[in-house]
Amino acid sequence: MTTKQLKNYLDKQLQHYDHDGFVPDDPIAIPHRFDLPADIEIAGFFAALFAWGNRATIIKKCSALLELMDNAPFQFVMQHQEADLKPLDSFKHRTFTGIDIRYFIRFFKHHYQKHNSLESAFTAGIAIEQAYTVEPALAHFHTYFFNLPDAPQRTRKHIATPMTGSACKRLNMYLRWMVRPNTTGIDFGLWEQLKPHQLVCPLDVHVVRVALNLQLINRATADWNTALELTERLKQLDPNDPVKYDIALFSLVVNQIVE
C-alpha cells in the first residue's frame, strides 16, 4: 500500500473501533471505573501491567485485586495498615504474586506522599520536553521505581525498560491511556508534560505480525527498535498522534482481519 492508502485503511478501522464501545472488553475498563485521577492512575497501572493473555481473565484478576483494596486504590495505598496487606499475599496472576503487589503499593505510597500525579515518576529530573520519544521517561521510571530499599529482585521482570531492548509494550500502553486526550471515550488525557507525539506504539508479537503484513515495519522482532520503527512509520500518517493507530492495529489482531 502507498502511505495514502494505508492511512485511509487504518482511518477506517479507527472509525469502526475508536469509541467507548471498545472499553468494556478491554483492560482499560478497569481505570474507567474511577473518577479520582490518582485512582485512575493506580488502577490503570495494575491493569496495564497485568495485560497479557486473555482479556477477560485480565479484567477478572484486576477486579479481584481492587476488591482486596476496597475498590479505593489511592485511599488504600495511602492509609493501609500492615494487617490490610496480608490478604494480598495469596494474590496471584501469572507471575505476579503478593510480593510484587506489596512492593507496588509501597512504591505508590512513597511517590504520592511527595507528588500529586504518577506522571512525575516518569518525567521528574529529565528534560522531557526535548525528548523525541518517551524512551528517556521509561528508562527514568525503571530506575526510580526500584530505588526503594529492599526492592525485590523478582519484581524487576514486571517493569520493562528500553535500556534492555524491551518493547515495553505494557508501559507504552499505560502511557497511551494517561497521555492521549479523551476525545473518543477510551484514553484519559490526565497528563500534560508527556505529549501524544512522544508516545511509542505498544508492540507485541501479534502486532508485529499485522504490521509486517501491512508493510509498516521491516523487522520481525518484538523489541524496542521495532517499536520505534513502527511508531516512525505511523508518524507519517499522523505526526502529532501516531499512537492513535494502536487501537486500529490491536483491533485487527483481535478480530483476525489481517493474518
pLDDT of the chain, 259 residues: tens digit per residue: 889 999 999 999 999 989 999 999 999 999 999 999 999 999 999 999 999 889 999 999 999 999 999 999 999 999 999 999 999 999 999 999 999 999 999 999 999 999 999 999 999 988 999 999 999 999 999 999 999 999 999 999 999 999 999 999 999 999 999 999 999 999 999 999 999 999 999 999 999 999 999 999 999 999 999 999 999 999 999 999 999 999 999 889 877 655 4
Axis crossing angle, helix 37-49 with helix 98-112, rounded to the nearest 10? 150
Phi, psi of 93 (to 5 degrees): -140, 110
pLDDT at res. 125: 84
C-alpha cell at 207: 502486532
> What is the reported pLDDT for 259?
46
Pick the closest to residue 106 from 160, 155, 44, 49 (CA basis): 155
User: 93 pairs with which residues across the strands?
Assistant: 96
92 forms beta bridges with 97
Q: Give the pLDDT score at 254.
A: 78
67, three cell numbers: 476488591
What cell does 177 get?
491511556
DSSP H/E element including 92? strand 92-93
Give Cβ neighbours of residue 196 (< 8 Å, ≥ 6 apart): 179, 180, 181, 240, 241, 242, 243, 244
**Contact partners, residue 120, CB within 8 Å, separation at least 6:** 111, 193
Q: What is residue 95's predicted lDDT score, i.e. its pLDDT? A: 93
What distance in Å separates the CA atoms of residue 84 and residue 70, rounded to the nearest whole number? 10
Predicted local distance difference test score (pLDDT) of residue 212: 96
**CB 134 within 8 Å of CB 167:** no
93/97 Cα distance (integer angstroms):
7
Helices of type H across the chain: 3-17, 37-49, 55-68, 73-79, 82-85, 98-112, 119-123, 135-145, 169-179, 205-213, 224-235, 245-254
Rounded Cα distance, 244 and 199, in Å: 10
Structure-derived torsion over alpha carbons of residues 128, 34, 100, 161, reported in degrees to the nearest 10: -20
